[in-house]
Structure 1
Amino acid sequence: MQALRNLFRAPWSSDVKLDGQTAVITGANTGIGKETAIDLAKRGARVILACRDMEKAQAAVTEIIESSGNDGVVCMKLDLSDSKSIRGFAEEINKNEAKLNLLINNAGVMVCPYGKTADGFEMQIGVNHFGHFLLTYLLIDLIKRSAPARIINVSSMAHSWGSINLEDINSEKSYNKSKAYAQSKLANVLFTRSLGKRLEGTGVTTYSLHPGVVQTDLWRHLSTPERFFITIARPFTKNSIQGAQTTIYCAVEPSLEKESGGYYSDCAPANCSAAGKDDELAQKLWELSCKMLSLSWD
């Protein structure tokens, strides 16, 4: 019903300006991350593209500056599959940036063949969840000092098909790429919920979202039957500009200032799965994440 209602609502738009604010967007050299960066740059924000491929990132910076007329756009190296890279990136941000008003955890890998990160995590849970969990942890003090601030985690409706396997989070006993993807996207929703509770009263709010079924290069690992299905469904999919709108909504919409921990789709509050609202599961995932990353984060 929520999705049907959203379908008939007028498109969301806002003229909110972000002059003097700083945003970090992971995976912003392509797709919805890049469109989000263009929008925030047009609103006057200083935008830092956190990307693995610096050649593509530099090309994106040039394009974003030309498109927005804002030369306060830079890129920095970040490989979310390697905790050393994450720590190095965070160190640079903490040293050189006076504030961080928006952290948009956008980067992700999708239904890829089994692989492991530099730290031995299954690639999808490693990049999509553990990488962003660690990044957020390392930047949280700067974000708190910059309040009001927002942390946005790009999830997916695929979270609703997911479950968290606390006993085998890295899918070492058996691997199904779609299940592992769904698990990582459910982890995004649960992390957002837990983090929102922990940040109550700090002026920092959290949001997770489904961008829509977006035409993106994340589809490169899909099987032939899956590609066929997507081709059939193409008229109902979104392009990158449309796909970025809910991220932008969560970043700038004034009415969300007092909301935190929720899940959004089509620029409106949406229902996440029962598992996505399970506070006990969220707590267990939080504790496991801290343990896997050797962190102490109360």
Structure 2
Amino acid sequence: MENFSLESISSQKGKVAIVTGANNGIGFETALALAKKKATVILACRSLAKAQKAMSEILPKVPDADLEILLVDLMSLESVRAFAKEFSKKYDRLDFLIANAGIMMPPFQITKDGFESQFGVNFLAHFVLVKRLFPILKTTLGSRVVMLSSLAHKNAKIDFTNLNAEKNYSTWKVYGQSKLACLIFAYELQRRIEDNGLKLKSLAAHPGFSSTNLGHLLPSVGAKLFAPFASFIGQDAKAGALPILQAALDPSANGGEYFGPSGFKEIKGLPKVVSSSSRSHDLLVASKLWTAAEEMTHEKFEI
């Protein structure tokens, strides 16, 4: 696979993309790039004000951008279902479903459905979103689902006895578990797509270390002190979005591939296909996780 370049990607006019969490950071840069390629971009955000601000920042850069705001709160499965229903009424195709939105290392909290928030938002809400939109995805020629994982997946494992932090809550461990779950789901979805002879693709990507993560990783004072060095350690949101965009747009990308930065330890650099932990390829864990997600969300996801 040659080095990916957005400039080499042809117009995506007529195609429809959903980007969750499109109002800032990597989600914003992903939405902006897709708008530049003439795709219709659904800004799937929780806050109307923040979504409108993102739209107002995209339009001067892409005056003819085809954008629509559809609100979704990933802390609520009712909201996810309502979003999918509204989208399905308005559109008869979905070419790119970018599961970008997520939360990172918050204090312990639960979603409206009683899930630990990181597992609930990062994984379970997107599981339901993909399931609810799958009828449109599988009838759209060449459609792709892109799940966002993280470098944090590499030291993580799925603890089926503690999915909701029933025993204890470690912010980092729970975050890593949620991002490992997203990656396992992407792989398992591709296997089930192939087993059923469907033509769409499921892929995954991670942004490396982005300076936009600082506010989550460090106390506010520490983040301010560390910010000047962020560009040396990681990369900005625009660069962090490139692996996601390659997964979505690269004609040579294959279902089941995982994209990330090509630099040292995948912290930054041009995007490429990267490897993932052995745990992410465990077929028994994948099957068990799929079943657990169905049971927790009360959503039977049959391909």
| Structure 1 residue ranges without an equivalent (≥5) | 1-5
TM-score by length of 1: 0.92
| Alpha-carbon distance in structure 2 between the residues aligned to 1:153 and 1:226 | 30
- What is the CA deviation profile of residues 231-281 of structure 1, one whole-angstrom value per residue up to 9, with x for unaligned ones? 65541211111111111111110101xx11221112211110111111111
Give the CA deviation at 1:224.
7.2
Question: Does 2:257 correspond to 1:253?
Answer: no
Q: 3-state SS of the aligned residue for 1:103?
A: strand
Question: Cα distance, 1:12 vs. partner?
Answer: 3.6
- Match of 1:3? none
Among residues 178, 181, 191, which one is paired with 1:184 in the alignment?
Answer: 178
1:278 aligns with 2:275: no
Query: TM-score, normalised on structure 2?
Result: 0.90
Aligned length: 289
Q: Does 1:296 align with 2:300?
A: yes
C-alpha distance in 2 between matches for 1:199 and 1:46: 25
C-alpha separation in 2, matches of 1:225 and 1:289: 38
Secondary structure of the structure 1 residue equivalent to 2:241? helix
2:267 corresponds to which residue?
A: none
Contact 1:113–1:221, Cα closer than 8 Å, also in 2:
no
Counterparts in 2 of 1:121-270, with a 5 A limit?
Answer: 121-200=115-194, 201-216=197-212, 219-220=215-216, 222-223=218-219, 227=223, 234-256=231-253, 259-266=254-261, 267-270=271-274
Q: Kindly tell me: are residues 225 and 196 of structure 1, through their superposed partners in 2, closer, same or farther at Cα, counting changes over 3 Å?
A: farther
Is the 1:109–1:218 Cα contact (8 Å) retained in structure 2? Answer: no
SS at match of 1:238: coil
Amino acid at match of 1:273: S
Percent of aligned positions that are identical: 36
Q: Is the 8 A contact 2:36 2:65 kept in 1?
A: no
Q: Is the 8 A contact 1:99 1:145 kept in 2?
A: yes
Q: Match for 2:66: what amino acid?
A: G
Distance 1:187-1:249 versus aligned 2 partners, 3 A rule? same
Aligned residues of 2:80 and 2:129 also touching (Cα < 8 A): yes
1-structure distance, mates of 2:178, 2:226:
23
CA–CA separation in structure 2 for the residues paired with 1:125 and 1:107: 12
The C-alpha deviation readout for 1:271-295, integer Å capped at 9, x for no partner, is: 1011111111111100000010112
Match of 1:50 in 2: 44
Rounded to whole Å, the distance in 2 between the matches of 1:286 and 1:224 is 37
Look up the SS of the partner of 1:49 in the other structure.
strand
The change in CA–CA distance for 1:213 and 1:153 in structure 2 (over 3 A counts) is same
Q: Note the aligned Cα RMSD (angstroms).
A: 2.0
| Aligned counterpart, 1:79 | 73
- The 2-side partners of 1:102 and 1:216 are apart by 24
CA contact (8 A) 2:3 2:272 kept: no
Structure 2: gaps of 5 or more residues? 262-270
Deviates more, 1:279-288 or 1:11-20: 11-20
Question: Which deviates more from structure 2 when the two are superposed, residues 143-152 or residues 61-70?
Answer: 61-70
Q: CA distance change for structure 1 residues 11 and 24 in 2, over 3 Å: closer, same or farther?
A: closer
- Contact preservation (8 Å) 2:18, 2:96: yes
Residues of 2 paired with 1:226 and 1:158: CA distance? 21
